[in-house]
Amino acid sequence: MLKKLLLFCLILSMSLFSLYGCKESTGIGSEKIVEQSQSNKPNWLNNPPATDSEFIYFVGETESASSSGVRDAYQVSVAKITQYLETVASQAYESIEKSFGKQRSKTMSEQLIQNISKKNIIRGAKEKSNYWQKMEVTTQQGVTYYYRVYSLVMYPKTFVKQAVEGSINNQIKEAQANNDKELQVSLEQTRAKLLAEINK
């Protein structure tokens, strides 16, 4: 009886070793680069260029069935531009929120973003570079492939400045028409804050 039990344990152990050992040796779930658009990863992949006197830079990343997914990565970069503008506008309108309430500040901030988005983002965003990797993935069903694609986009500060000034100037004119001096002053301060943030 003891021999049968020991034999059963031995067979079970060998089966488990075969199951998990085989999985480990074949690298199930492992990935490796089998092809790329250039010999070395570009530096901007991990360290995007710092904002300079003319441009703000954004990196978009996505996965695709082919290297043509670079266009999708470009769209991700453009979406990041919108997020950046939303953050800057929201922070700059804080003074208005304190004086006139959250809802009014939010409405004015959204008006600014819409104005910038409609007029400038697609027209102003330019792809500076792109890069892709063809990835090989080992699965239980076999080997599959997909692409990691990246796009470095630069966005001119002048586009943002023009849109910011144009949009806030319209809001200032509206405040003047309503004889709302306090709002006018807050908007002028907001304009100065936004332009200072963009010029960093």
> Domain extents for the chain?
45-198
CB 148 within 8 A of CB 135: yes
Decide if pLDDT at 21 tops 50: no
pTM of the full predicted structure? 0.72
Lowest mean pLDDT among 56-70, 76-90, 125-139: 76-90
The single-letter code of the amino acid at 79 is A
CB 133 within 8 A of CB 31: no
- DSSP 8-state code for residue 45: G
pLDDT value at residue 8:
38
Give the integer Cα–Cα distance in Å for 181 and 17: 79
Lowest mean pLDDT among 114-123, 144-153, 162-171: 114-123
Give the integer Cα–Cα distance in Å for 160 and 114: 12
Q: pLDDT tens, 7-18? A: 334 343 444 444
